[in-house]
């Protein structure tokens, strides 16, 4: 089975878990998938460690569906990062898998 077909056959929550596993394998630390409901636009929260050792808190929004994302999704993630209680550097990450069939 090819990878695209596998991605089409998982649901949005399974996609979040898959994305979290990828970030863990890429070396991100403290990768946490947030609760399935009322996540405030934060599907995954994790730490990225810069080459200098600085911790950057990253907020990930995952989208796995047929339709494209619009401005409200982008605004929601921007707000989620802005309101995250963390005094250091923060960044936002989008993980989008859009499929057609």
pTM of the model: 0.82
* 60-86 tens-digit pLDDT: 988 887 777 778 777 877 888 888 888
> Cβ(100)–Cβ(8) under 8 Å?
no
Examine the pLDDT at 1 and tell me if it is beyond 70: no
Strands 44-49 and 29-33 come out as antiparallel
Which pairs with CB-CB distance under 8 Å and at least 24 residues apart come from 21-29? Answer: 23/60, 28/58, 29/55
For the segment 53-65, the average pLDDT, to the nearest whole number, is 89
- Residue 5 has a pLDDT of 63
Examine the pLDDT at 29 and tell me if it is beyond 90: yes
């Amino acid at each position: 089975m090819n990878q695209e077909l596998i991605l089409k056959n998982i649901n949005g929550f399974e996609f979040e878990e898959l994305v979290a596993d990828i970030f863990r394998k890429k070396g991100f630390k403290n990768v946490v998938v947030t609760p399935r409901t009322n996540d405030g636009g934060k599907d995954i929260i994790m730490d990225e460690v810069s080459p200098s050792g600085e911790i950057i808190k990253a907020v990930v929004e995952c989208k796995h569906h047929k339709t494209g994302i619009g401005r409200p999704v982008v605004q929601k993630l921007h707000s989620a990062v802005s309101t995250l209680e963390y005094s250091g550097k923060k960044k936002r990450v989008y993980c989008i898998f859009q499929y057609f069939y």
